[in-house]
């Protein structure tokens, strides 16, 4: 949510930003906010004026009550009583008018907030302008993409060869499409990757957290747009609770209505959680695949910082993901999201994509986002200076690793011709082996 002062003073900046995001249908919302804001401020000014009038009239009561109490002149007393009756009627009328204005002000503020939640955040000037993800821009590559001299099987076939996955039982017996059982060494591999990711981020100075896996609706609407919520979140029936789609949601929610002294910043946190997503619009969930699924695990990074430091942290965060993947011998590239591919709350975003030897192309395994003060404004996350001044924080989030999608890249890039899987050196202390072997058929 942007600062309404920007709409008041520079509405064309807001409109141009909407055009850059190819959301021209929202242009009229800027004018609506201006109209409602003017009406709201007018109602407030009239209400303040009426309050002053009431205060003046209330003071007159004392004068007339004193006359009634002390004067022996019946005419003066009658006149004073008449004035008291008049003042009472006038104050009642003022209260009635004030009540109507307060109701109008409340209604207008609600309408303004409702619209402001839909108007996209101001993107950074460095963001490339484009309508959709086809216009995203490659930034840099890390590691040499490698295609082995043998055919790389589909990732489910790789897992099945080492008895590492059971899709049929999940689909047919317990849960339906988009779910799976990981077993044996593949299940161990996923757990070890997450443990390694945790330790990797702790070594970077981040504090490890395990957050709640369900959050209330006010947190959901504070951390993401309504359109994203409808397409992603599972609601708990009969409860004001949603299953999280990523631990960023509950981690940022932890700071609702907080005021953090500047000297305590930045807050750098890394969090583990299961994640639950509808995957609406995914053109169906593949029956034999774990690329798009309803449930997965994830290690996340969260930063709450001063505005002037957010871009520095943005570049640090995605570089950590690049470094993490390279320690596991996986080539990656960074891809900057264009204006039309940015979610409405984001100022700037870079995806990390891993190399797929089977498909001979890169695919997304993580995303780093700078949200500016959008989430902070929605949730009341503020910073306090030494001289007691307050301002909104900036928030950022980034994926460290999200198995099992990351497993696809891991398996393809560490696969041997006989179906066994190499364990990179960084992961060996966790797996306690350097190879996942293909079981010998008895």
Q: Are 195 and 430 in contact (CB under 8 A)?
A: yes
Ramachandran sector of residue 418 (left: φ over 0; alpha: ψ -120 to 50; beta: rest):
alpha
What pLDDT does residue 410 have? 97
Q: Is the pLDDT of residue 283 over 60?
A: no
**pLDDT tens readout for residues 311-357:** 999 999 999 999 999 999 999 999 999 999 999 999 999 999 999 99
**pLDDT tens readout for residues 42-78:** 999 999 999 888 888 888 777 787 777 777 777 887 8
What pLDDT does residue 285 have? 47
Nearest Cα to Cα of residue 383 among 309, 314, 331, 312: 309
Q: How many residues does the chain have?
A: 442
Decide which of 1.10.287.40, 3.20.20.210, 1.10.1240.10, 1.10.3720.10 is the CATH code for 4-116: 1.10.287.40
Angle ∠(319,329,412) on CA atoms, nearest 5: 115
Angle ∠(15,19,24) on CA atoms, nearest 5: 90
Residue reference for tokens 């049929």: 168
Residue reference for tokens 């490698």: 146
Among 180-189, 253-262, 283-292, name the one with the lowest average pLDDT. Answer: 283-292
Provide CATH 3.30.930.10 ranges for the chain: 133-436
What pLDDT does residue 406 have? 92
Instruction: Name the helix (H) or strand (E) containing 8.
Output: helix 4-9
What pLDDT does residue 227 have? 66
Retrieve residue 300's tokens. Answer: 């996340």
Angstrom distance (rounded) from CA 70 to CA 73: 9
What pLDDT does residue 62 have? 73
* Between 386 and 88, the higher pLDDT residue: 386
User: Which three-class secondary structure state does DSSP give residue 276?
Assistant: strand
> What is the pTM for the complete model shown?
0.88
Neighbouring C-alpha atoms within 13 Å toward the C-beta of 67: 16
Beta bridge mates, 273: 298
Provide CATH 1.10.287.40 ranges for the chain: 4-116
Helices (H) and strands (E) in the chain, counts: 14, 18
What pLDDT does residue 63 have? 76
**pLDDT tens readout for residues 13-31:** 999 999 999 999 999 999 9
**pLDDT tens readout for residues 150-177:** 999 999 999 999 999 999 999 899 998 8
Please identify, in words, the CATH class of the domain defined by 133-436: alpha beta
Among 94-108, 219-233, 247-261, 313-327, name the one with the lowest average pLDDT. Answer: 219-233
**How high does pLDDT run on average in the chain?**
92
Nearest Cα to Cα of residue 356 among 407, 322, 398: 407
Nearest Cα to Cα of residue 136 among 350, 294, 309, 310: 350
DSSP string, 137-186: EEEEEES-----SSPPPPHHHHHHHTT-EEHHHIIIIIS-TT--EE-HHH
Kindly state the percentage of the chain with pLDDT values over 90: 78
Phi then psi dihedrals of residue 78, to 5 deg = -65, -40
What pLDDT does residue 442 have? 67
Among 63-77, 180-194, 288-302, name the one with the lowest average pLDDT. Answer: 63-77
């Amino acid at each position: 949510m942007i600062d309404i002062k920007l709409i008041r003073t520079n509405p064309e900046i807001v409109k141009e930003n909407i055009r850059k995001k190819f959301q021209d249908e929202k242009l009229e919302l800027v004018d609506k906010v201006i109209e409602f804001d003017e009406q709201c401020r007018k109602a407030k000014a009239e209400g303040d004026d009426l309050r002053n009038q009431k205060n003046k009239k209330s003071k007159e009561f004392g004068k007339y009550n004193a006359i009634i109490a002390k004067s022996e002149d019946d005419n003066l007393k009658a006149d004073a009583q008449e004035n008291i009756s008049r003042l009472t009627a006038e104050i009642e009328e003022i209260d009635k008018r004030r009540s109507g204005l307060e109701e109008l002000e409340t209604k207008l503020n609600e309408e303004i907030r409702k619209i402001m939640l839909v108007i996209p955040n101001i993107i950074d000037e460095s963001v490339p302008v484009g309508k959709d993800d086809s216009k995203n821009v490659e930034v840099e590559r890390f590691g040499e993409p490698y295609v082995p001299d043998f055919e790389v099987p589909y990732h489910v076939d790789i897992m099945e060869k080492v008895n590492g996955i059971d899709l049929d039982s999940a689909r047919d017996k317990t849960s339906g499409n988009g779910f799976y059982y990981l077993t044996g060494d593949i299940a161990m591999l996923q757990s070890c990757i997450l443990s390694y990711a945790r330790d990797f981020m702790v070594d970077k100075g981040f504090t490890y957290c395990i957050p709640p896996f369900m959050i209330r609706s006010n947190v959901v609407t504070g951390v993401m747009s309504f359109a994203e919520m409808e397409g992603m979140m599972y609601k708990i029936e009969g409860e004001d609770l949603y299953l999280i789609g990523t631990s960023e949601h509950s981690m940022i929610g932890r700071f609702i209505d907080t005021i953090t002294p500047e000297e305590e910043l930045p807050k750098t946190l890394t969090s583990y959680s299961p994640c639950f997503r509808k995957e609406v619009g995914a053109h169906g969930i593949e029956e034999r695949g774990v690329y798009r699924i309803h449930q997965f695990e994830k290690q996340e990074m969260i930063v709450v910082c001063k505005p002037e430091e957010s871009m520095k942290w943005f570049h640090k965060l995605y570089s950590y993901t690049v470094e993490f993947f390279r320690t596991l011998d996986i080539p990656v590239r960074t891809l900057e999201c264009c204006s039309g591919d940015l979610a409405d709350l984001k100022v700037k975003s870079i995806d990390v994509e891993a190399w797929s030897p089977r498909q001979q192309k890169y695919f997304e395994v993580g995303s780093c986002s700078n949200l500016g003060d959008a989430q902070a404004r929605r949730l009341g996350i503020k910073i306090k200076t030494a001289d007691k001044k307050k301002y909104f924080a900036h928030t950022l989030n980034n994926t460290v690793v999200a198995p099992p999608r990351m497993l696809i890249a891991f398996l393809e890039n560490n696969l041997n011709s006989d179906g066994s899987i190499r364990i990179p050196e960084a992961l060996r202390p966790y797996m306690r082996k350097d190879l996942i072997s293909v079981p010998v058929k008895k």
